[in-house]
Amino acid sequence: MPPRQVGRRHDRDRLRAQYGDLAANALAATLARGKPHEQAVAIGVLGDRGTRADVPALVPHLAHPYPQVRYFAKRAIEKLTGAPLPIDVGLPAAEVAAQVRRWLATTPSPG
């Protein structure tokens, strides 16, 4: 086990540049700026503990560059809305984005 680094300081400007406002909601900041594996966790947490009001923040992740993250987003949205999502997140991102636009145009308010 590596030695514990007591009293280590972190450059706040560097942290802010990478993660945004450190006082912001951690889940929202992670969705916006996190690495894909961090975003997947934030999406999963919102799916388990969020509300319908969180759906709009999840929608962009349906066409995420990393397909696995898309599946997390789809599952979270389905849990929060209580309805199946008619989007095939296994398609190329551009096609998924087109399906998302059509879904949003025909859905009164996803969130």
Tell me the per-residue pLDDT of 79-97, one tens digit each, with 9 for 90 and over. 999 999 999 999 999 999 9
2 in any annotated domain: no
* Residue 4 falls inside a structural domain: no
Is pLDDT of 74 > 80? yes
Each residue's pLDDT tens digit, 28-48: 989 998 999 999 999 999 999
State how many domains the chain has: 1
> Above 80 in pLDDT, residue 15?
no
d(CA 102, CA 100): 5
Instruction: Evaluate if residue 55 carries a pLDDT over 70.
Output: yes
Domain that holds residue 41: 12-106
Q: Is 56 in contact with 28 (CB distance < 8 Å)?
A: no
49 occurs within a structural domain: yes
Task: Tell me the percentage of the chain whose pLDDT exceeds 90.
Answer: 67
Quick check: is 34 in a domain? yes
